[in-house]
Amino acid sequence: MAIMMGVAEVGSELEEEEEYTADDEDGEEDTGTSARKSVESALAEAEREAADRGTEVLWLELDDLGIDDEKLCSLNLSRRYPSLIGLSLWGNKITTVDGVVEAVAGMNQLRALWLNNNPVEKERWHKVIATGVIRLEIFNAEELPSLETLNLKGNPLKEQSRDELLGILGALPNLQYLQVDVPSPLGWTLDDITDNLPSLLEINNESVEEIRRKSSSVTNGSIDDLEPRLPEWSQGEPVVDRVLRSMWQYVQEYRLATEEKLDETPIWYIMDEFGSSLRHSDVPNFKCVPFMYMPDGTLQSAISFSLLWPTQDLQRGDECFRDYLSGITEQKHRSSRLTAWYHTPRSFFRKAFEAREDRLTANAAALEERPSLAKGPGKTSRSIRKDDQPLKIYTDNPQVLDALKRPEFQLVKEPKEADIVWSHAQVDDEFRKALELRDDQYVNQFPYEACIVMKHHLAQTMMKAYGRKPWLQVTYELDSEVPAMIGDFQQREESGTDNLWILKPWNMARSIDSVVTRNLCAIIRIMETGPKICQKYIERPALYKGKKFDLRYILLVRSINPLDIFVGDMFWSRLSNNTYSTNEAMLSDYETHFTVMNYVSGLNHVNTNEFVSEFEKEHGVSWADIDERVKAMFREVFEGAAMVQPDMHCEYARAIYGCDVMLDENMQPKLLEVTYCPDCTRGFTFEMTRLSDGAIIDPKEFYNTIFGCLFLDERKNVTSLYD
């Protein structure tokens, strides 16, 4: 806190000041003259810096200058610097509190004061506060108990990182009012700071509510001046294409969940002519909602209606309006989402996009300042088996129950008896309490692993760590970044750049509710079916015999600190069923653009060895080169996670992750997602020959191999990323 509140530049230059002068030929030290020169030099330097900023002197550091009570009073600081906010007198010769009170009386803006390492008795320091002459917020590097207001204006905040500053301010539970220069390390905009410090009520004398409204509102509260977005089409365009592109201004949605299928499935529908004619208003006079009637209580008998009712008194001839974004406020970017129905100002979105690009550039620049990570085998490389006794395993995973067949492991039915708990469920405090787990039991989940296994967190973690990476497609978390995404889309549209995107739910598997589109209105509307990321589609992927494919790798993580990670020698390809095409009519075809066919008819499996051999012939490449690129990407993914989320490490965690990868036409690996407790059906179903030496990998040994590596320090059919 002291570093944050102090003027580091002044202090560092003072250290270079001469501390003595030659009074005579013998070089005898003239301490009085030296002190005067040092103090005046410090004051002059502070005044020069303030003049350069165009402000009064707000921060003053007079440390280790031999200032006593008399000298302090003679400086007339309160008269010379009435607007002073921070004053450090660290390491001087001040002996009385009264002298300090006299010196600072009249400094109505003073909020930070340091008296450390002065002869004045420590127990009398707080008399300075008790006098009520000044209203301190920071005293001797400690925040006062009821700190509510903090003024950091004029402080360059160069000595600490953004995360450190946010950590310090976030630890002040009562902080509500902040003064700070913008941009600063705390944020590029006031809106950034409100997101990072949610307890604040005001920043720079403006309410947080008003800041959020201004920053996120395109319309400044009114849509009257916006031009409606009307359907457009080109000469000769098929009617079907016109309808598909224009329907997003009319469709409505609801979601259903059944006992058999717990994932919510979105249902899109269009109301009749009357319902579709209702125009939007931010102050509607009608409410319209979907209603489902099930005569016999089953979905098969369901009949759907739209119910419409007035919400205010009406006169004959009044137009009926409804709210197209009912329940959505500016915190969810309401006015930006109106772009689906109105032509909104493009300049707003361009600025949001540019600000995001600046943040990514800053993240990339900060990478050089981060400490290096420990890598390679540590104590986690040792076997956890003791005295040749079998390790007891509790699992609710049917695949592990069926396939783990080694004498070194014994399956048990009670979790509290196990050495290792291997579960599909989230291993949190509630889970541990319910199963009566001990802290020394191994689990197959690392804390905070959501930073990589949830799609939006994965993108945010990697962007925070690196800014941009060629293996990570441009990704937006729509709940918070829809203005920047719209700005990116519009910029690509203007430049004629490819504008094909894929929307994915945060945390659903099997491509459920995923959509490929180049329609901005569709992107905005699809947000309504649940939280999504919007990711630039790999429009020119490497193909296998004309079809899209991805690759599933299994990574075995034994430790995050040091990084001790293996990749299974067995991996497999997953192919789409249809020839790849980005024609508009084919964008909604699942079997063209998605590769997970386990859950639909027509699984098209190709043996890995056959796939690699045919792929090398088709593209004239060496798979060994691709393999090295993929492994380099995996290293960067987990190193990024370790940098951003070091608390992910846990001594009693060992886990496997499914990593899905695509290749573009230049053979650049692209990371699609990282999956916790992945489905490994193909791993123990299909035989494979190891590419490195031609040895056969028995699929029946799949889980035996995994558990052997994680818990017995075996390296059969796995390759370390850090050897």
Q: Indicate if the pLDDT at residue 546 is higher than 70.
A: yes
Q: Could you give the CA distance from residue 584 to residue 432 in angstroms, rounded to a whole number? A: 49
How is 561-596 classified by DSSP, letter by letter? TTEEEEEES--EEEEEEEE----GGGTT-HHHH---
> 2-159 sits in which CATH class?
alpha beta
pLDDT interval class at 178 (50, 70, 90): confident
Q: How many CA atoms lie within 13 A of 652 on its CB side?
A: 13
pLDDT interval class at 525 (50, 70, 90): very high
Q: Could you give the CA distance from residue 640 to residue 373 in angstroms, rounded to a whole number? A: 10
Q: Could you give the CA distance from residue 595 to residue 366 in angstroms, rounded to a whole number? A: 37
β-bridge pairing 515-517 and 303-310: unpaired
What's residue 33's pLDDT?
Answer: 52
Longest dimension (CA), the chain: 111
What's residue 596's pLDDT?
Answer: 74
Q: What's the first-to-final CA gap in the chain, in angstroms?
A: 42
Phi-psi region of 525 (alpha: psi -120 to 50; beta: other; left: phi over 0): alpha
Given a contact cutoff of 8 angstroms between Cβ atoms, the answer to whether 231 and 242 are in contact is yes
Q: Could you give the CA distance from residue 397 to residue 351 in angstroms, rounded to a whole number? A: 49
- Model confidence pLDDT, tens digit, residues 450-500: 999 999 999 999 999 999 999 999 999 999 999 999 999 999 999 999 999
Both structure tokens of 525: 């509307």
Rounded to an integer, the average pLDDT of 515-527 is 95
CA 591 to chain centre: 31
Is the preceding peptide bond at 183 cis, omega within 30 degrees of 0?
Answer: yes
Rounded to an integer, the average pLDDT of 336-357 is 93
Q: Could you give the CA distance from residue 365 to residue 309 in angstroms, rounded to a whole number? A: 56
Q: Which long-range contacts (CB under 8 A, 24 or more apart) does 418-422 make?
A: 418/392, 418/393, 418/394, 419/384, 419/391, 419/392, 419/393, 420/391, 420/392, 420/393, 420/394, 420/444, 420/654, 420/711, 421/394, 421/395, 422/393, 422/394, 422/395, 422/397
Q: Indicate if the pLDDT at residue 82 is higher than 50.
A: yes
Per-chain mean pLDDT for the chain: 85
Q: Could you give the CA distance from residue 490 to residue 487 in angstroms, rounded to a whole number? A: 5
pLDDT interval class at 134 (50, 70, 90): low
Q: Indicate if the pLDDT at residue 710 is higher than 70.
A: yes
The angle subtended at Cα 154 by Cα 150 and Cα 159, nearest 5°, is 85
Lowest mean pLDDT among 194-198, 224-228, 388-392, 484-488: 194-198
User: By C-alpha distance, which of 301, 369, 351 is closest to 159?
Assistant: 369
What's residue 323's pLDDT?
Answer: 96
Q: How many CB atoms lie within 10 A of CB 479?
A: 16
To which residue do tokens 């034994």 refer?
558
Helix residue spans in 405-477 (DSSP H):
429-435, 450-453, 455-466
Given a contact cutoff of 8 angstroms between Cβ atoms, the answer to whether 557 and 709 are in contact is no
Best-predicted range by mean pLDDT (55-64, 217-226, 587-596, 607-616): 607-616
Over its C-alpha atoms, the chain yields an Rg (Å, rounded) of 32
Both structure tokens of 467: 């800014």
Domain ranges of the chain: 2-159, 240-338, 379-443, 450-475+540-703
The reported pTM is: 0.71
What percentage of residues in the chain have a pLDDT greater than 70? Answer: 85
Amino acid identity, position 23: D
> How many residues make up the chain in this entry?
723
Both structure tokens of 638: 């987990």
Q: Could you give the CA distance from residue 624 to residue 693 in angstroms, rounded to a whole number? A: 12
What 3-state class would DSSP assign to 552?
Answer: strand
Q: How many CA atoms lie within 13 A of 663 on its CB side?
A: 22
Amino acid identity, position 201: L
- The CATH superfamily holding the domain 450-475+540-703 is ATP-grasp fold, B domain (3.30.470.20)
Q: Could you give the CA distance from residue 61 to residue 14 in angstroms, rounded to a whole number? A: 9
Lowest mean pLDDT among 162-171, 408-417, 541-550: 162-171
Q: Indicate if the pLDDT at residue 520 is higher than 80.
A: yes
Q: Could you give the CA distance from residue 443 to residue 420 in angstroms, rounded to a whole number? A: 6
pLDDT interval class at 356 (50, 70, 90): very high
Amino acid identity, position 473: Q
What 3-state class would DSSP assign to 305?
Answer: strand
Q: Could you give the CA distance from residue 459 to residue 722 in angstroms, rounded to a whole number? A: 24
Rounded to an integer, the average pLDDT of 652-661 is 96
Given a contact cutoff of 8 angstroms between Cβ atoms, the answer to whether 291 and 306 are in contact is yes
Q: How many CA atoms lie within 13 A of 190 on its CB side?
A: 21
Are domains 2-159 and 450-475+540-703 of this chain identical in fold? Answer: no
Rounded to an integer, the average pLDDT of 593-619 is 81
pLDDT interval class at 225 (50, 70, 90): confident
What's residue 5's pLDDT?
Answer: 28
Q: Could you give the CA distance from residue 667 to residue 541 in angstroms, rounded to a whole number? A: 8
What's residue 502's pLDDT?
Answer: 97
Q: Indicate if the pLDDT at residue 31 is higher than 60.
A: no
- Model confidence pLDDT, tens digit, residues 228-260: 988 877 788 888 888 888 999 999 999 876 665
What 3-state class would DSSP assign to 620?
Answer: coil
Given a contact cutoff of 8 angstroms between Cβ atoms, the answer to whether 475 and 536 are in contact is yes
- The residue that leads in pLDDT, 683 or 123, is 683
- The residue that leads in pLDDT, 76 or 186, is 76
Q: Indicate if the pLDDT at residue 353 is higher than 90.
A: yes
**Which residues, at least 6 apart from 606, have a Cβ–Cβ distance to it below 8 Å?**
544, 573, 575, 614
Q: Indicate if the pLDDT at residue 176 is higher than 80.
A: yes
To which residue do tokens 């539970």 refer?
173
User: By C-alpha distance, which of 366, 271, 254 is closest to 320?
Assistant: 271
Amino acid identity, position 718: V
What's residue 179's pLDDT?
Answer: 86
Q: Could you give the CA distance from residue 10 to residue 176 in angstroms, rounded to a whole number? A: 29
Both structure tokens of 348: 């707003």
Given a contact cutoff of 8 angstroms between Cβ atoms, the answer to whether 484 and 681 are in contact is no
Q: Is 261 exposed, middle or buried (0-12, 13-18, 19+ CB in 10 A)?
A: exposed
- The residue that leads in pLDDT, 518 or 260, is 518
Looking at domain 240-338, does it have CATH number 3.30.870? no
Q: Indicate if the pLDDT at residue 682 is higher than 90.
A: no
Q: What is the 3-state secondary structure (H, E, C) of 174-235?
A: CCCEEECCCCECCECCHHHHHHHCCCCCEECCEEHHHHHHHHHCCCCCCCCCCEECCCCCCC
Both structure tokens of 672: 């699609």
What 3-state class would DSSP assign to 90?
Answer: coil
Q: Indicate if the pLDDT at residue 576 is higher than 80.
A: yes
What's residue 3's pLDDT?
Answer: 33
Rounded to an integer, the average pLDDT of 639-652 is 94
What's residue 260's pLDDT?
Answer: 57
What's residue 159's pLDDT?
Answer: 59
What's residue 102's pLDDT?
Answer: 83
- The residue that leads in pLDDT, 474 or 131, is 474
What's residue 124's pLDDT?
Answer: 58
Best-predicted range by mean pLDDT (12-21, 181-190, 637-646): 637-646
